[in-house]
Amino acid sequence: MSKFIPTRRGNNCPICGDYSGDCRIVGEVVLCHSSVDTDALVAGWRYLHADKSGVWGVYVPDTGSEGKSWQDIAEQRNQRRQLEREQLTAKSLPARERNQQYRAIAKQLNLSRKHRQHLLEHRGLTQSEIDLAVSQGWLRTWIPGQEVFGASPNLAGINPNGKHTLLGVSGISIAALDINGCIVGHQIASDEREKFAKYIWLSSASRSGSSPHLPNGELPLFIWKHPLSASISEVHYCEGSLKSLLVALKLWSQGRTDIVVVGASGGNFASSPQILKTIQSISTKKQCLLYPDAGAIANRQIMLQYSSLYTLLHSSGYELQVAWWGQFTKDDSDIDELPDTATFELITHAQFEALAIVKTEVHNDFCVSDSKQSYYCFHCQTGGNTIKFLMDFDKKSFTDVVLGLAQKHQIPVEWDVENPKRLSLLTVKFVKAKTDIYKIISERIPLHQYGKDYRGACPFHNQKATPFDSISTLFKNLKTKLDNTFRGFGKSFVKPITKPKPQEVKINIPTPSAYQKLGHPHIIYDGDILKTWQKASELGYKAVLDKSATGVGKSHAAGDALPSCFGVDKIFYLAADHTNPTTLSVEVNFGNVLPRNNGFKEDESRLTPLGHPFKVHPKKDEQPDTPGNCYRAPLFHTLAGKNLSGIEQSNESPICATCDLAGACKNSKGNGYGFRAERSVAFSYDRLRAHPDSMPNTKESEYEKWMGIWDEAGRLIKSTKLIDVKLADFDKTWAELEAKLPQHHTTLTYLRRSLRSFLTGELKQPYHGWNDAEIRERLPPAPDNILLLADEIENELSPEIDKILKQSDSVDFRGNAGKGVSKATRSLIRSTLRKEAYTESSKNLDSVLLNWLPQFLRIWGGEKGAFRCQWSVLTIANRDKKHADIVKAFNFNVFLDATVDPDTLALRLGIQRHELLVIEKLKPTYQNLRIIQVGGFGKLGKERSDSLDQRVQLFQAWLRQKHSDIDFIDWLAFSDFAHFREGRGSNQFINHSTLASLGIPYQNIGALQMEYQTLTGKSPEGEEFQAFVDAHVQEEIVQEVGRLRSHLAPDQDKTFYFVADYDIDFLALELPGVKIELIDVINLCPEAASEGNQTKWGILQALKQLHEQSVKVTSDVVAAAAGISQPYLSKIAKPFGGWKRLEKILLLLLNKLYSVSNIFSSSEQELLDKPESELTDSEYKELKDLEAIKFMATQYLPLAFNEPEIDVPAEVNMVVESFGWKAFEQIVGLMPIQSFAKLLGILINMLPSSVVEEFRGAIAFDDEKMEVTG
């Protein structure tokens, strides 16, 4: 399919004459932006319809229609528009009715958590600002299809067919207010911007209902007036609906409630002249202010809208000033994105239009652009369009100039309907379209062609201007840009919500009641570890958290603990990897409770303290090295995966009951059996190590006589259970429910439909999936008897496991039946029958329903829990109390964890914070530890772009050169040493002098959200939840720093690099005496910094060079040139080939500070990547040219710049002469940042001292930043 081409001069829109790119043409099809909903009645063209987006009207040739002149077209448009106004007036509701009905609808809607979070995180609003906007009815979540009450079918956005449902698209609705605060319309900030426009007017016109137009035919504006404002002194204008609200809220928060902010879609203020007139009439000042969007000066259509606003205000006696903060391109900040500390200058509208022509390129000549239909003088900074030129040149008014041009081109003149003394915008538009600026100006002054433009002597500017004025102008622009974008190197650091340092007291352990009265502080002790635990047990504590630092001997003390010292029969050492202990006393003194298994692999690379290889579960298709103790272990795993409880712990497990080796398993062991015999032997010991999941049922054992020591408690203790539901599980459950409980199925029909849409792809998934709040928003209200329904459904759908499991057939070999059958044959027959029974049982268990629906219903009905859906998987989180129940059943518990947050641990255990005694040995000193935080990489998460990954590798290579024994903890995809694995509990870095951690160790945020909501019943948002997340992050960082065990080698200096933008000030409290330094990567390894920061570093280096060479700048040669004489100008420019070339080179270097673009074209890059064997002769020659460019940029010039005897200006001139300007631009783009900085410094130093001082002022760095070096 051919691509639609934007209109331009020479390819005007045949419908409206536009050449700004607003309309589109392909072949014989025209998309006209001016005539969208109705036929423009243009000769030779037939209107079909509006396109799906509602942005363009679709036209095709109509060979049967009679031609009409432009005069006829204008007359018919006037008549048609008058008819449209009358039709809109007849259907449109007045403001008071609209306001009443829109506010009635607002009471039935709310602002969703997703949209509230978006406004907080991406639009910079505060909670109080959002609350104000919501309370006023200005912001709501708009859900098409939702039924509402109290709305007329004549209201825009309401289905006119009497269904009282909302139309439009889903998103945030933004109220359009009139000057009295009445809501007269809405725009929707669309959720699906790939499919729809960003902002869409709420309308019913496509269904023969009302458009958003007011009774007077104008579109509403967004007039943001503070609800408590007594008087208005100023009116500010800002493009857009939501953006203008953000600006208003920002101004009001600064106390400027006397300002009204007016927004307009697309900046089209002038389409509502009556409203504008009303707005301005309430202001006490004649000045008003416009905030142009970033990049607006490059958008001719927007500039035309701004110009129309200026014309309307100016004709009414108001002065329009423009706020300018250097927003040349869309990469710059809009007004709502600027920090509060940012400043801007006020310029006139004429100066603003001049900027639209020059953008960031500055030349010292009068320039006429035929493509832009504009002119500009770079000396006196005047410019504009054809009309402006004639006004200044002929000293005529705007109206006189337009009338003269209209007469010249025989264009019919129309006057504004509301103001008969003012020309209509359509007339002005036709005049501009028919007038050629080159022809007009060339008739008055000589012009010569200069590239695509034309140059000549400016008839307006001050002839005394110097050639350096253009450079000064660029420095001023540079200053404005840097003032608002340069805030030091690197991105903003993630600022964690760090809890206040807990109260620490060095006292004897108090009684539990006294501990509660003290406010449950951390008790600092300096005595024996075991005796301290014993004392706590004797005082009646049931739960003790020992937060003593890693390496002080907690685990060793645990291994020496005796049951008799704590008044219990047994001590259990509970650990995630209890089979592979890392502490000698634990391995020697504690028996192991092996889990059910089908055999382990032995990892000879890792050994226990006694020298045994680590036992790990085999991977898929791996054969185990040890015999298994239960060949039916996979059946237990299958049932556990179905969320069926009580299968493992019961002494009468149906899996065991149907096993033909059950008897042998209890009394002996062999290949594939013996689990119960091993367990029985293990439980005969008085000290055991186990995983808490392998512990017996609390109701069937003597826990009151037992004690638990929990290793790495923060990671070990689980408090939530996650159930993953896929579409197949979903459909299977509902089908079973319909068959067994049809009445329940009918009751829950709407729930089924709503939930299923998340799994089928009917709903477009947000980037991070749907969270709990977003899922609940789409669910119907839960029935009152929902908990009863859940119990009945669980009872009915529970499988009868004993009937599903297959017991192997038996063969009686007694008597004659066994004669002649060898022992080996008998064993083979039994083994074969056993395998057949196992295979059938496994198949049957796979068909068992996933037990998810009852849990979902209970949480839906109000029990604590959470939902999440991502990638067509619904996840349900509910409370898993197994570990907490074990803690409560034990006589006494000690939790070993140096970093876990006590509040979080108490929350997981389901106990009050004062019930958890927190103790800690006196912290060791970390004076030999140096932590270097390297900024400039962002968060360094699991997903990294190729460029970011390359930067990380460059920095790692730099670190390896500096530290021979360094290792890196990173995400598993990037390193063998991973966060959450080798990052905690590991001793393998104990002999290292240096260790680096890359990236902020965030756990899965979705999982943390679900855990938080399940534990607290609160929504996972706000500072409380953020503190919960940050506690986990900080816990992990402390663990990773602790891997060096620096306090165990106080005479050895150790270094830890933390490479991520996260504030680690909290480490100073955790590690007494530690030295923490913050360094940006630009100062260590500039090549590993981002391209933008490399550029900023280049500025610093150039400035540092100026600072060091200040004597040269004030030398006699320069001082004598204070008058900037022509001989001096020639002298400093001659080595570069003249002033023009010197200026051009300097501008190229300075413009590189504004933006970064691709160095090679796509075709050139393809050529560079292509194997030489596949090149043609011409391609081979072009490749060698490109390689020569890379050689000059990366090798030749960097070496030349560092040779003192080399004449750098002459060398640069030689390169330009030899390679040409285009190639030289590519060379500059490829040049290393150090060479770029050197060349920039050399050029700046050649300029007069006054110009150099302007450059210094533009940068305005302090001395500390000037000292930064690579």
Q: H/E/C letters for each residue in 108-135? A: CCCCCHHHHHHHHHCCCCCHHHHHHHHH
Q: What is the CA radius of gyration of the chain?
A: 39
CATH code (residue 644): 3.40.50
Check if the beta carbon of residue 1141 is closer than 8 Å to that of residue 1148: no
184 lies in the same domain as 93:
yes
The torsion of the CA quartet 577, 583, 588, 591, rounded to 10 degrees, works out to -20
Dig out the tokens for 192 from the structure: 């699906």
Non-local (6+) Cβ contacts of 1070 within 8 A are: 899, 1038
Number of domains the chain is built from: 7
Question: Tokens 């307006």, residue?
Answer: 460
C-alpha distance across the termini of the chain, in Å: 52
The 8-class DSSP code of residue 498 comes to: P
Helices (H), 1021-1090: 1022-1041, 1067-1070
For residues 320 and 313, give the distance between their C-alpha atoms in angstroms, rounded to a whole number: 7
SS3 302: helix
CATH code assigned at 1044: 3.40.50.300
> Where among 361, 376, 410 does a domain terminate?
361
Q: Are residues 751 and 735 in the same domain?
A: yes
User: Is residue 1204 assigned to a domain?
Assistant: yes
| Per-residue pLDDT at 1099 | 56
Here the CATH number for the domain that contains residue 168 is: 3.90.980.10
Measured in degrees and rounded to the nearest 5, phi and psi for residue 334 equal: -80, 170
Structure tokens at 509: 């352990």
Residue type present at position 580 = N
Closest CA to 267 of 291, 239, 248, 242: 239
Q: Is residue 390 part of a domain?
A: no
Q: Rounded CA gap, 239 and 323, in Å?
A: 13
* DSSP secondary structure, 953-986, as one string: HHHHHHHHHH-TT-EEEE-TTT-SEETTTTTSS-
Residue 100 and residue 58 share a domain: no
Output the pLDDT for position 1236. Answer: 73
For the purposes of burial, counting CB atoms within 10 Å of the CB of 934, is it exposed (0-12), middle (13-18) or buried (19 or more)?
buried
Backbone phi and psi for residue 1112, each to the nearest 5 degrees, phi listed first? -65, -40
- Is the domain of 896 the same as that of 838? no
CA-CA-CA-CA torsion sign (296, 297, 303, 307): positive
Q: Coil, helix or strand for 1191? A: helix
Same domain flag for 979 and 900: no
Say if residue 747 is in the same domain as residue 612: no
Q: What is the pLDDT of residue 1122?
A: 30
Kindly state whether residues 1008 and 1049 are assigned to the same domain. yes
b vs e for 452-463, b when ≥16 Cβ sit within 10 Å of the residue's Cβ?
ebbbbebeebee
Torsion of CA 133, 135, 137, 138, to 10 degrees: 0
Structural element, H or E, at residue 1167: helix 1162-1169
Which of 154, 186, 214 terminates a domain? The answer is 214
Nearest to 1154 by CA among 362, 466, 468: 362
CA proximity to 138, closest of 13, 241, 251, 274: 241
Give the position of tokens 């990897």. Answer: 577
542 found inside a domain = yes
Instruction: Output the pLDDT for position 845.
Output: 64
Q: Residue 894: what pLDDT?
A: 96
* DSSP states of 457-470: --SSS-TT--TTHH
Domain of residue 731 covers 722-879
Q: What pLDDT score was predicted for residue 823?
A: 56
Handedness of CA 66, 72, 77, 79 (dihedral sign): negative
Buried-exposed string 159-176: b where 16+ CB fall within 10 A, e elsewhere: bbeeebebbbbbbbbbbb
In a domain, 494, yes or no: no
Handedness of CA 1105, 1111, 1259, 1211 (dihedral sign): negative
- Residue 468 is which amino acid? F
1128 and 1200 belong to one structural domain: yes
- The answer to whether residue 1023 sits within a structural domain is yes
Asked whether residue 537 falls in the same domain as residue 596, the answer is: yes
| Secondary structure letter of residue 8 according to DSSP | B
* Same-domain check for residues 1248 and 1104: yes
Could you give the CA distance from residue 741 to residue 192 in angstroms, rounded to a whole number?
39
CA atoms within 13 A on the CB side of 412: 11
DSSP state of 706: E
On whether the pTM is more than 0.85, the answer is: no
Assess if residue 164 is contained within a domain.
Answer: yes
Mention every residue, 6+ apart, whose C-beta is less than 8 A from residue 1187.
none
Task: Please report whether residue 1189 resides in a domain.
Answer: yes
pLDDT at 1265: 37
Contact 290, 237 (CB under 8 A): yes
916-921 and 522-525 as β-strands: parallel, antiparallel, unpaired? parallel
SS3 817: helix
Q: Residue 384: what are its φ and ψ, rounded to 5°? A: 160, -155
Which of 658, 518, 545 shows the shortest CA–CA distance to 909? Answer: 545
Helix spans in 847-967 (H): 853-860, 882-889, 902-909, 946-962
The pairing of beta strand 234-239 with beta strand 259-264: parallel
Which residues lie across from 453 on neighbouring strands?
450
Tell me the residue type at 593. V
pLDDT for res 1256 = 54
d(CA 689, CA 583): 12
Q: Are 129 and 120 in contact (CB under 8 A)?
A: no
In 726-865, where does DSSP find H-type helix? 727-740, 742-747, 749-760, 772-777, 786-797, 801-804, 823-846, 853-860
In a domain, residue 389? The reply is no
Parts of the chain with a pLDDT under 50: 1, 65-67, 69-71, 358-364, 462-470, 478-492, 650, 809, 811-813, 817, 821, 826, 829, 1106-1133, 1154-1156, 1259-1270
Identify whether residues 665 and 533 lie together within a single domain.
yes
Assess contact for 531 and 501: CB atoms under 8 A.
no
Q: Are residues 1042 and 1111 in the same domain?
A: no
Residue type, 698: T
Check residue 135 and give its pLDDT.
92
Going by C-alpha positions, the residue among 655, 618, 651, 658 that lies closest to residue 636 is 655
Domain final residue, candidates 147, 180, 214: 214
